[in-house]
């Protein structure tokens, strides 16, 4: 059983030395337990927060434990009447080839309905995050302008497409010309701007001639500073993620925009609301119905970035925190 353990809490950007690959015996399921063979491991930005002892909404990972995370796999042995050998499941195996579970929080998957990998992507946690954050907090109206950063990624790609389905204009922000071309040409956003371009602020303003009504925040930092002056009266800001800050070891120096933001929040009567999707799984059934329909009708597309082999997970995860992925990042651990 190949496992990837957390070896040390990174200072700043994680490095390969913060992980350790070990091989242990395949575990045997006890009473009520099942043995799951991982097929795809999901790599997600939140895992950086777990690799830290800073206080947060969830407990830190322990040194020497396998890295935690969701995945999809197949039941290889079962002592639990709810699961049969050969069932495909979405579970929380962590970064390892085999895992045991008593079935709590495990979802059975029908590979005839959708590719199993989507259960940790467009039809799973990132998709639900986009759906809940945009529709419940952002509440886009027809003709409004919705802007989302990390627009080619698991969450952002869904945000813009759902905004368009609801009749809004969707403007993406992404980190390369290739990603922007994909966001416009394949996903159908109205525009996408590369935040690394020198004239990013001018390009964003030109793409949002009527200002911004919903800014779905995935990244923070300089991107938010550029978005801020374009926000309209009564703008809504679902605060989903701040990936540009996840490796930071201190607060940024330079101009402090907080007083300007506070003034704008007041005078423009804006709403900024942070959310963590694990608090909102009561929307899962609505989400699966809507998203399943949009995918089936071709209105909503998704892209996966699949890295081969569990031993390549640390490098892929390090890359995720600086934009090396292009689409929902998965690791193929074994064949299905």
CA–CA gap between residue 48 and residue 69 (Å, rounded) = 11
Closer Cβ to ligand NDP, 77 or 203, answer by number = 203
Closer Cβ to ligand NDP, 126 or 138, answer by number = 126
Closer Cβ to ligand NDP, 242 or 261, answer by number = 242
Q: What is the closest distance, in whole angstroms, from the C-beta atom of residue 114 to ligand NDP in the complex? A: 18
Torsion angle of alpha carbons 194, 198, 199, 201, nearest 10°?
A: 70
CA of 112: how far to CAs of 28, 74, 76, 198, 332, in Å?
A: 29, 15, 20, 47, 20
> For residue 239, what are the β-bridge partners?
217, 274
Nearest 5°: the CA angle 121, 127, 131 is 180
Q: What is the closest distance, in whole angstroms, from the C-beta atom of residue 121 to ligand NDP in the complex? A: 9
Q: What is the closest distance, in whole angstroms, from the C-beta atom of residue 86 to ligand NDP in the complex? A: 30
Q: What is the closest distance, in whole angstroms, from the C-beta atom of residue 228 to ligand NDP in the complex? A: 15
Compute how many other C-beta atoms are within 10 angstroms of the C-beta atom of residue 167: 11
Closer Cβ to ligand NDP, 40 or 83, answer by number = 40
Q: What is the closest distance, in whole angstroms, from the C-beta atom of residue 81 to ligand NDP in the complex? A: 33
> For residue 305, what are the β-bridge partners?
329
DSSP states of 86-124: T-EEEE---SBSEEEE-STT-EEE-TTTS-GGGGGTTTS
Q: What is the closest distance, in whole angstroms, from the C-beta atom of residue 74 to ligand NDP in the complex? A: 24
Among residues 204, 192, 249, which one has the least CA distance to residue 229?
204
Compute how many other C-beta atoms are within 10 angstroms of the C-beta atom of residue 113: 13
The number of residues in the chain equals 336
CA–CA gap between residue 171 and residue 164 (Å, rounded) = 10
Q: What is the closest distance, in whole angstroms, from the C-beta atom of residue 127 to ligand NDP in the complex? A: 10
Which parts of this chain interact with ligand NDP (CB under 6 A)? 44-46, 126, 129, 150, 152-156, 174-176, 179, 218-219, 221, 223, 240-241, 243-244, 275-277, 320-323, 325, 328-329
Ramachandran area for residue 75 (φ above 0: left; ψ -120 to 50: alpha; else beta): beta
């Amino acid at each position: 059983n190949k496992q990837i353990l957390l070896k040390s809490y990174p200072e700043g950007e994680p490095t390969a030395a913060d992980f350790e690959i070990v091989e242990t015996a395949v575990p045997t399921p006890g009473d009520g337990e099942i043995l799951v063979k991982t097929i795809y491991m999901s790599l997600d930005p939140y895992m950086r927060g777990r690799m830290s002892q800073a206080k947060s909404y969830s407990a830190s990972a322990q040194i020497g434990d396998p890295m935690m995370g969701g995945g999809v796999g197949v039941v290889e042995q079962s002592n639990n009447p709810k699961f049969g050998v050969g069932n495909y499941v979405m579970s929380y195996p962590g970064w390892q080839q085999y895992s045991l579970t008593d079935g709590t929080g495990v979802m059975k998957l029908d590979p005839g309905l959708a590719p199993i990998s989507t259960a940790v992507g467009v039809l799973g946690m990132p998709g639900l995050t986009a759906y809940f954050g945009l529709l419940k907090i952002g509440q886009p109206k027809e003709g409004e302008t919705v802007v989302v950063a990390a627009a080619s990624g698991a969450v952002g790609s869904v945000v813009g497409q759902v905004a368009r389905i609801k009749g809004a204009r969707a403007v993406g922000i992404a980190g390369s010309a290739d990603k922007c071309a994909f966001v416009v040409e394949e996903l159908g956003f109205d525009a996408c701007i590369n935040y690394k371009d020198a004239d990013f602020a001018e390009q964003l303003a030109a793409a949002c001639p009527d200002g911004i009504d919903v800014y779905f925040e995935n990244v923070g930092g300089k991107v938010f500073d550029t978005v801020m002056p374009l926000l309209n009266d009564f703008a809504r800001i679902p605060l989903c993620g701040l990936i540009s800050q996840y490796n930071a070891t201190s607060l940024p120096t330079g101009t402090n925009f907080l007083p300007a933001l506070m003034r704008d929040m007041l005078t423009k009567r804006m709403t900024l609301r942070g959310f963590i999707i694990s608090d909102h799984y009561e929307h899962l059934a609505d989400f699966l119905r809507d998203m399943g329909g949009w995918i089936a009708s071709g209105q909503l597309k998704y892209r996966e970035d699949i890295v081969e082999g569990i031993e390549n997970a640390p490098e892929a995860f390090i890359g995720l925190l600086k934009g090396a992925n292009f689409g929902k990042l998965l690791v193929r651990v074994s064949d299905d």
